[in-house]
Amino acid sequence: MSKCLLKADVRYLVALLALLGIITLFLILAPMKDVFLLPRTKYGLVFDAGSTHTALYIYQWPADKENDTGIVNQVETCAVPGPGISSYADNPALAGASLKPCLDKAMTIIPAKLQRDTPTYLGATAGMRLLREQNSTKAEQVFAEVVKAIRQYPVDFRGAQILTGNEEGSFGWITVNYLLETLVKFSFAEKWEHPQATEVLGALDLGGASTQITFQPGGTIEDKNTSVLFRLYGTNYSLYTHSYLCYGQTQALKMLLAALREGSSSPQRILHPCYPKGYQENITTTDLYDSPCVPAPSTPSTAQVLTVTGTGDPVACRTAIQKLFNFTCGAHRTCGFNGIYQPPVQGQFFAFSGFYYTFHFLNLTGQQSLGHVNSTIWAFCNTTWKELVENFPEEKERLHMYCSFAVYILTLLLDGYKFDEHTWSSIHFSRKVANTDVGWTLGYMLNLTNMIPSETPQQGIALQRSMWMAATVTLFIMLFLCFWLFTAICHQRKLVSYETF
């Protein structure tokens, strides 16, 4: 073909090939270049509708990162006024109205142009689980009102639900390990990576109506009802998790009070060994027996006023609290309490919510020894009400309950979850990590928005390969067309030469 080409044709061919080379090079290098755009921010809202109160958590993250999974930060927390939504069973409209001050606050934080793209969730825990057991119709009415209230705001509302106990424990575990970067870590190369040789931490949660324990055991989980499997960023996690309904600190101490009344010589007068000496209060039987956790006596009676008097006896307090549990394991070789299977605790643990707040008040969140913890609690429980009020005037509303809370936590962790003097040091009492509250809400949002994918994203690699293939095919086609074009030109010139001849 080259013999029939003129010099001009050769120049055209060279120019065309150069152009094809530039185009191909651009296609190859394009996916390797960073595209600089203005940073985008996304927001997320999660209501934690607990048994005693509701809180709104406002999260944000940079959306220009890989798979829209930039590091999540907590922007703000808003405490919803009033009690938990389950308390509005007889007036459900108030449950919805109670959420509005915090929603209004969120609208001042999230830019208006981003509000309609803000995923919003409400998760209810043990308080609503108990109400559903007690009266499912009232539970549905409360939920209908909170949904109606949230839908009045310009957000991407994705639903309200009652979490199971295992979900509550599992999402708390995800939150802990996400914040501590044991699941995924954002590298200097601005990519999420699974950290190598990093152990995950267990999660210990104590609410008002339930308590959860979640951890990765050393062996096989024998009871599948306590097993949950997560695949996060290409790594499988087989977790043990269990939630004990009625063993949150509020409900447990109601059970304690009912048990003390049952053992009292006078049903109207209760001597309480966990309350400080010199403290006295009146409660009604209606308030005491208002939960499925505390069944009313078999012989019903009209509402009565009960007088509760503190005796400040920590030994009797611990004995009374231990009677709330059944520590016999039955058919299980290893168990927690009440016959529930539990493998031996293993690894480090994060203890938050009620565990943290009580121990923080007693200044016991600094990894002190079990001996020091015991002596501190015993000394506090032996302090009279008069001395406590003088020392802690700002805590007067809950001050009489801290001995009960502390002894209950010790009993739950040591006798219930089977920590001992050797494993006690593995428990870290904490409220926040990196200015973000530890609890189930962040893990819940991360899971529902798929911000921790089950597999490592391969989108960038796939795109790069596809561009290479497109560039190669394009070059091949263009070269074929060039070859065909100049072959045709040569053939035409030969015919002209023959005709001239």
Hey, which residues are catalytic here? Answer: 168
The one-letter amino acid at 206: L
Q: Give the three-state DSSP class for 356.
A: helix
DSSP H helical ranges for 151-267: 165-179, 249-262
Report the residue count for the chain: 501
Query: Do 360 and 376 meet the contact criterion of CB atoms below 8 Å apart?
Result: no
Strand segments, DSSP code E, in 35-135 are 41-49, 54-62, 73-79, 119-124
Secondary structure element (H or E) that encloses residue 444, with its range = helix 440-448
DSSP H helical ranges for 124-209: 126-134, 136-150, 165-179
Q: Which two tokens stand for residue 145?
A: 């009102």
Q: Nearest-5° angle of CA 207, CA 440, CA 85?
A: 55
Q: Report how far residue 463's alpha carbon sits from residue 100's, in angstroms, rounded to the nearest whole number.
A: 45
CA of residue 467 relative to chain centroid, distance: 39
Half-sphere exposure of 67 (CA within 13 A, CB side): 19
Q: Report how far residue 151's alpha carbon sits from residue 117's, in angstroms, rounded to the nearest whole number.
A: 14
Q: Report how far residue 131's alpha carbon sits from residue 90's, in angstroms, rounded to the nearest whole number.
A: 11
Phi, psi of 266, rounded to the nearest 5 degrees: -125, 110
